[in-house]
Structure formats: C-alpha cells, structure tokens
Structure 1
Amino acid sequence: MNLDSIKQSLSLWPTELWLLFITLLGLVLASFINVVIYRLPLILRREWGETNLPEISLSWPSSHCPKCKTPLSWRHNLPLVSWLIQQGCCVKCKQKISLQYPLVELAGGSLALLIAWRFGANLSSLVYLGFALSLLALAVIDAQTQLLPDKITLPLVWAGLTWHWVFSSSQMFDQAFLGALLGYLSLWSLFWVFKLLTGREGMGYGDFKLLAAIGAWLGAPALVPVVMLASISGLLVALVLKLNAKWQGQALPFGPHLVIGCLVLLIGGQELAGWLGLGAWLEITSWAF
C-alpha cells in the first residue's frame, strides 16, 4: 500500500468513527508515555554514572507495580479503565497508584481527540498526535526532574524538518528550518544575556532544544505566540505558587509552559493567534502552517 492509497483510505473514514479511533489510540499511546516518563530519567541517570540504579530499558522489564514489583497483565494495563476498576490501587499490594498514570492517559486521549477534530481524518492527525504525545512526555519529565532529554528533543527537531520537507510546501519547510534555528538561538541568547548580567543561569540547555523542535514543527512565525503563551502560563503558575507559604522561591522549569504554548497554538491555529492580537504578525510573516 503506497502513501496515496493510505491518504485516500483515511479520508473515507466517517468523522465519528475517526474521532473514536484516534481518541482510543491516544489513550493507548499515552499509557506507553507513562513508561517513558518513569523510566527514561532513570536510564539517563544510570548512563551518567549512578550505578546504584536498576538496569532497565523502555521495554524491559515488563509492566509491574512500582511498589511490590508484581507483573501486570494486559487486564491491569487498560488505559483509564483498569485504574477505575481497581479504584486506583495495585491488585496485589493494594497500595495507591499515582494519579499521574490516569491523568497522563486522559491528557493523551484528550489531545488525540482535539488534534483529530483540528486536522480531520488524514495522515497529519496521526503525525501531529505523535508530536503532541512527545511534548506531553517532555512536559511531565521536566516538571518532575527539570530534565528535557536529548533522546526526545533532538529526534523531534529532525522529525519536524523531515515531515515538512516531504509533505509540506517549500514555504513551510523554509519556515520550519528557520524556526528550528531561531528557536534555539533565541533562548540561547537570552540565557547568556541573563547569565552575564546576574551570574546565574535562568534556564537549561534543554529549553533551547525544545523551542528548536517547536519551531521545526510549527515554523518560525509561531515562535512569537508560543513564547507569549508560555510566558503567560509561567507567570500564572508563579503567582499561584507565591500565594503558597511553603514555596521558597525554587526555580521553575520552563519546558512545561513551552509545551502548553505549543499545544494551544497547534490546536487553536490561525484563529487563536488572531484572537491573541497576532493576526497582523502572521500576515506579515506569511505563516504557512
């Protein structure tokens, strides 16, 4: 089956069936994203020399309870359903299962539904779902560990450029290439200006690569609304935390906010950017997304 026949077969799907299918696909893939979120930081730390950590990979050992290590069958791994049936507890030791697992699965299914609604029954929905779920993994990993692994960010840059090179117009590829370049250099420049002025590091190198990946997927004109949305999100979180007496002014990861800005723009598109007052900017830059 060639690419044209795949596109044609996807276009024949009834809208309701397509939305149901891709939502279920998002739930299933988000279950694997939970594995990535938990295991990838451990794999990286072991690679960096922490030999006291268990030797694991993304595929081995099989899924098990993190507390009692009991292997889980497929019945215990059904996205959302198993967690609800088991009332959020392990079937063996009855210890509570972290809310992260159902929340990530719910987020994956919701993103899938919104992306399918935005792009329709076509290959773009599947590709952008993969992009969105990769961003979801990065956001949670960064929130928990303040890491944005190169093993995800760098392949995302190349995947975005390849996608636009093969499937988009030459104008969109040019914007994607420039977006990857400007995405990296803009935050890299801010990093060094801040460091020279204050002697402190305001963000990590992973943020540069994440914004480069976003630029590679959405194009250079999208960087302005993405950073604007990320800044608003970060400011709101900082204000809420400031009201909490327990917060001691710890550094906040910026990656999750870049992800929020990107996903909001990915789903909202030109209409959302226009609502933000950036219609003229997109018109001047001829955003081709």
Structure 2
Amino acid sequence: MLVGSFLNVVILRVPARLHWQWARDSRELLELPATEEPEPPGIVLKRSHCPKCGNQLAAWENVPVFSYLLLRGKCRACKTPISIQYPLVEALTGALFAAVVWRFGVSYEALAGLLFTGILVAAAGIDWRTTLLPDDLTLPLLWLGLLLSSVTLFVSPTQAIWGAAVGYLSLWSVYWAFKLLTGKEGMGFGDFKLLAALGAWCGLGSLLSIILLSSLAGAVIGSAALLLQGRDRATPIPFGPYLAVAGWIQFMWGGDVFDLVGKLIFAR
C-alpha cells in the first residue's frame, strides 16, 4: 500500500510534467518567448500536499488507506473532499502485490512481478485519467521484459522478441486500417507499446488471449461507464487499462484462466 501511495503521485504528477515539457519544447522549436509558467512538482522531492489549499500533509496524514478513513475523506485544513482514487489505488496495489507473492513465493520471479505490477498500475491510472500512456513507463517495461528473457525468467528470448514485435505490429495494423477506412484515429501509439511490453513479458502465445480479454472488458466496462456518465459513443475510451488488466491476468495465470473459461462455455 505504501508503493500504491507513491503510484498515486506518479499518476497525478507525470501527466502535468509531460504537458509542461511539451509546451516548453514547442516554444523552443517555434522560437517563441518563454513563459513564466512554473514547473510542476517533481515525482520524488516535492512533499504531498492538498491540491486545493496547498497544505503540506503531516506524516500521519500519509498512511495509506487509514489516513483517508481518519480524515473522513476530506482535507484537514480546507475540508475539500479527497479523491477516492487515493485509497483505491493504495488498496489495489496492496492486493495485487500480495497476489504476486502468493503466486511466485519469495523469489526473483516475485520481485520482477512486483515491478511489472507497479508499472501497470501507474500506466493504467494515467491512461484512465488522461488517455495518455507515457513512454517513460511503457518503454522501460518493454526493455525490462526483453532483458529478463535473456535468463528465461518467464519466457524464452525467442518468445519475448516475437511477442514484442507482433504485439506492436498487431495494434499498429489495426490503427492504420481503421484510419484508412474512417479517417479517424481509433487508438493511441501508447497502446502499441504497452501490448509490445506485455508480449515481451508473457510471450508470443499470450497475445491472442490478451487482445480478446482486453477487448471484451473494454466493450463491457467502457460502454457501461459511458452510459453511467451520460456520454455518447463518440467519447474516447482509454484502452490501456483493459490491456493492463488482461496482461496482468495472463502474466499471473496464463492459459489456466482461459482453459477454465473455455470449459465453462463449452461444458455440456
């Protein structure tokens, strides 16, 4: 849950820093004068504070989940409601980390699995909030999966390399086919990179299962979310969170989950 608290910081601060950097780089490229816009808070050095009143949090206000309950979901200083995202991400990360250690025991596989899980939580959270999948998360996840395949921690180098290549090219092909047919962009390039990273960790044979499960989850959950929010079907739906969920399930249990689903569907 402590890691989940840090991931909340990543989810909230990384997009703001990206937008600030893009604006700064664009001004330099176009030779426009610099603005006085302050640099957003860093990921590590800046202490946690209330985004409304700026009150810096005391140590007891930073205890995952429990502080939210003690404060009754409101800032101690200005009484502004605290987003439910904070305890949800903390509790989710704690539960997922516990599942990884239960699955792999105390091992190098578990350590790698914790890194894999933490990056997926951060990437999914950012994409859910902003429809962005930062290269700062997807590319290290991809390279880490490829490097771990060199010692065949989860899959062989052949499986990892082909999984990454086919994972990227499959969604890249769908993107361009959809754009040529409709003139619209159906997904972002970050989705290609995330599926490539999942292919590197889980292998070539996992891609079909990941795509099918993520598409099913996206269709059901995404449509329900649009309905509850009163939005039309033209509203962009982030695909990264569903890829992350499907990839994590595939990483943890592989074909066992899909074998079970198949037996339930085709059981007589």
Answer whether TM exceeds 0.5 for this pair.
yes
Instruction: Give the whole-Å Cα distance in 2 for the aligned partners of 1:251 and 1:232.
Output: 16
Pick closer, same or farther for the CA change 1:242–1:71 going to 2, 3 Å.
Answer: closer
Structure 2 SS opposite 1:252? coil
Instruction: Give the whole-Å Cα distance in 1 for the aligned partners of 2:253 and 2:203.
Output: 15
In the alignment, is residue 179 of structure 1 matched against residue 163 of structure 2? yes
Q: Select which of 201, 216, 222 maps to 2:206.
A: 222
Instruction: Give the whole-Å Cα distance in 1 for the aligned partners of 2:141 and 2:38.
Output: 28
Instruction: Give the whole-Å Cα distance in 1 for the aligned partners of 2:105 and 2:117.
Output: 16
Aligned-pair distance for 1:242?
A: 5.6
2:27 — aligned with what? Answer: none
Structure 1 SS opposite 2:151? helix
Contact 1:39 1:56 in 2 (8 A): yes
The Cα RMSD (Å) is 1.8
1:36 — aligned with what? Answer: 10
Aligned-pair distance for 1:156?
A: 0.6
Indicate the percent of aligned positions where both proteins have the same amino acid. 43
Aligned-pair distance for 1:117?
A: 1.4
Contact 1:42 1:53 in 2 (8 A): no
Pick closer, same or farther for the CA change 1:230–1:67 going to 2, 3 Å.
Answer: same
Q: Select which of 190, 212, 217 maps to 2:174.
A: 190
TM-score (normalised: structure 2): 0.88
Instruction: Give the whole-Å Cα distance in 2 for the aligned partners of 1:95 and 1:241.
Output: 25
Contact 2:206 2:254 in 1 (8 A): no
Aligned-pair distance for 1:56?
A: 2.2
Cα deviation 1:166-185 (Å, max 9, x = unaligned): 3537x622101111111111
Structure 2 SS opposite 1:194? helix
Q: Select which of 158, 163, 170 maps to 2:148.
A: 163
Matches for 1:50-61 after TM superposition, within 5 Å? 52=37, 54-61=39-46
In the alignment, is residue 260 of structure 1 matched against residue 234 of structure 2? no
Aligned-pair distance for 1:66?
A: 1.3
TM-score (normalised: structure 1): 0.82
Question: Unaligned regions of 5+ residues in structure 2, if any?
Answer: 25-34, 264-268
Matches for 1:206-217 after TM superposition, within 5 Å? 206-217=190-201
In the alignment, is residue 139 of structure 1 matched against residue 113 of structure 2? no
2:76 — aligned with what? Answer: 91
Instruction: Give the whole-Å Cα distance in 2 for the aligned partners of 1:91 and 1:133.
Output: 29
The one-letter amino acid paired with 1:223 is L
In the alignment, is residue 124 of structure 1 matched against residue 98 of structure 2? no
Matched positions, count = 251
The one-letter amino acid paired with 2:58 is S
2:215 — aligned with what? Answer: 231
Instruction: Give the whole-Å Cα distance in 1 for the aligned partners of 2:229 and 2:107.
Output: 49
Instruction: Give the whole-Å Cα distance in 2 for the aligned partners of 1:242 and 1:36.
Output: 26
The one-letter amino acid paired with 2:108 is L
